[in-house]
Amino acid sequence: MASLSEADTVKSWLDNFEDQDRQAAIDLVNEVLLVSRDDFIEELNSLLDSISGSKACPKKIALYAERPIKKVFGNTPCFFPNSRHGRAEGSGVPPIVADPRNQEVGSEGIVANLITDYSRRKGGFCFSHPGPNKLRSEKVRVIGVVTDFIGSGQRIIRMLDSLGSVATLNSWTSYKLIKFVVLAYSGTTEGLKVVRSHRLRPEVRVVMGCPTIQNSFVGERRKEVERICHSQPKRHPEPLGFLASGALIAFSHGCPNNTPPILHSRRSGWRPLFYGRSTSELPSELFRIDECNAHDQRTHRLLDIRDARNKLDSSKNEKWVAVLKVLAAAETGLRDPDEISARVRMKINSVNNILMLAIQARWLNCEHRLTQLGMRELARFRRRRRKAPLLVGSDESFYYPTQLRAL
C-alpha cells in the first residue's frame, strides 16, 4: 500500500464525499502523518537521551508528563501544594490526576508510562515526577515536561505557569541551578513559538515538525482542502481544528483536537475517519505504510520526479534527494526548520544539518531563503530531469559539494 487513501478503512470514509470533493479529501488524508506506538516510544526515548548527558557525565533530570491544569478562582495553582511562598517541601504529585467528573485518561497516561520505564532504566540519574524534597536531595539540574504533541501550546503554557508559581523553583532558576526542557514528538510552528516564548524560557525539542493544511498545501489545492473542511461537518465552529491549527497528525493512541473536525467529529451526523478522535479501529498496518513508497510520492510532488524508488538505494543519492527536497521546500516560502520538517517528512535534526550545509554552500542565506546559486541548482536538476525523468543512479554522477570554500 503506497498511500493512506488506498486503505479499505479510508476508502469507506471517502465514500462520504461527492465526486467534486473526493480528490480534495484524498489530498487531505494522504498528508496525515500516522505515528505508530513503537516509533513514538523510540523517538521520545531518543529525545530523553539527548538531555540526560553522556554516560561518562550524566545529568540528573526530573521528568513530568504534561497534564491539564485548571485555574482556581482565575489563578493557576502551584504545581506543588502550598509552595507559592517560602521553601517548597513534600513528596510531589501523582503522575496522572483524573477529574472525578470525567475519568478519561488521555495521552498523559501513555507518556507517564514511558517516563516510568525510562527512569527505571536510568536509575539514580532520572526521576519520575519527584517532589521538592527529591529535587533538592538529588540536586536535579534539568526539569523536563514530556508530551506527545504541542498544538496551540496552551496546555504546556498552563503547566509551565504552574511550575513557575513554585517559589523554590523560581529561586533555583534565577541562580541558574536548573533549566526547563519541553519534549514532544511533534508540534505546530505556532504552538512551538508560544511555548518557547514562556517566561521560564524552556528549551523545546521535538522529533518532527507537524504537517498542517497551511504548510502542506499551496494555491488551489489548499483552497479546495479548506473548502471541504468548512463544508463538513456542517456548522462546526472550528472547521480547521482548535484555534484553526489545521494539524494533520494522528498517533496510535489518538489524534489531537487541533486536527480538522472533518477527520474526527460526529457533529450533524457526519461519519468521521477517527471516531471520537480514537485511532484504535484503524488497522495496525496503516501505521506501517511502506516508507519507501511514501518517500517516492513526496519526492515526486516536491521535485516533479517519477519512478524514484529504484534510484534510492545509494546512501549518496538519498542524501542528495534530501538536500533537493529541503531546497524545494524553501522555494515555496518555508523558512522555519519545523515547517520544512513537516513538509518533507524528515526529522528536525536531519533538516537542521541540511540547512547548515546549504548555507555553507551559498544555496540558502541565513534566513533560509534560496540564493541565486540555490535557484540555479534546482533549475539545473529540473532541466536534467526533463531529459530523463528518473533520479540519478549509481552509473551517473551529480555534483554536490564535498568540500566547501568561500566564493
- What is the rounded CA–CA span in Å between residue 344 and residue 321? 11
Q: pTM (2 decimals)?
A: 0.83
Residue 404 belongs to a domain: no
Strand partners of residue 60 = none
- At residue 311, the pLDDT reads 39
Q: Are residues 167 and 263 in the same domain?
A: no
Closest CA to 79 of 119, 130, 128: 130
Q: Which residue has the cell 509552595?
A: 83
The answer to whether residues 5 and 30 touch, using CB atoms and an 8 Å cutoff, is yes
Question: All 3 cell numbers of residue 376?
Answer: 540555479
Residue 334 belongs to a domain: yes
Q: Are residues 14 and 56 in the same domain?
A: no
Binning pLDDT at 50, 70 and 90, where does residue 392 land?
very low
Residue 215 belongs to a domain: yes
Range of the domain at 274: 4-32+211-288
Q: For the chain, how big is the Rg over CA atoms in Å?
A: 23
Residue 397 belongs to a domain: no
Residue 217 belongs to a domain: yes
Q: Are residues 81 and 158 in the same domain?
A: yes
Question: All 3 cell numbers of residue 382?
Answer: 529540473
Mean pLDDT taken over the chain: 84
Q: Are residues 94 and 187 in the same domain?
A: yes
Residue 407 belongs to a domain: no
| DSSP-derived secondary structure for 209-243 | EPPBHHHH--HHHHHHHHHHHHHSSTT-S-TTSGG
Q: Are residues 264 and 331 in the same domain?
A: no
Confidence check: pLDDT of 168 > 50: yes
Residue 402 belongs to a domain: no
Q: Using one digit for the tens of pLDDT, what is the confidence trace for 2-17?
A: 578 888 889 999 999 9
- At residue 388, the pLDDT reads 46
What does each C-alpha distance from 150 to 164, 364, 391 come to in angstroms?
19, 28, 36
349 class by beta-carbon count within 10 Å (0-12 exposed, 13-18 middle, 19+ buried): middle
Q: Are residues 190 and 55 in the same domain?
A: yes
Q: Which amino acid is at 21?
A: D
Q: Are residues 46 and 113 in the same domain?
A: yes
- What is the rounded CA–CA span in Å between residue 7 and residue 282? 10
Count of the separate structural domains present in the chain: 3
Q: Are residues 130 and 13 in the same domain?
A: no
Q: Are residues 135 and 26 in the same domain?
A: no
What does each C-alpha distance from 56 to 52, 53, 59 come to in angstroms?
11, 8, 10
Q: Are residues 99 and 153 in the same domain?
A: yes
Residue 248 belongs to a domain: yes
Q: Using one digit for the tens of pLDDT, what is the confidence trace for 69-113?
A: 888 888 889 999 889 988 999 887 777 665 555 555 567 888 999
Q: Which residue has the cell 547548515?
A: 356
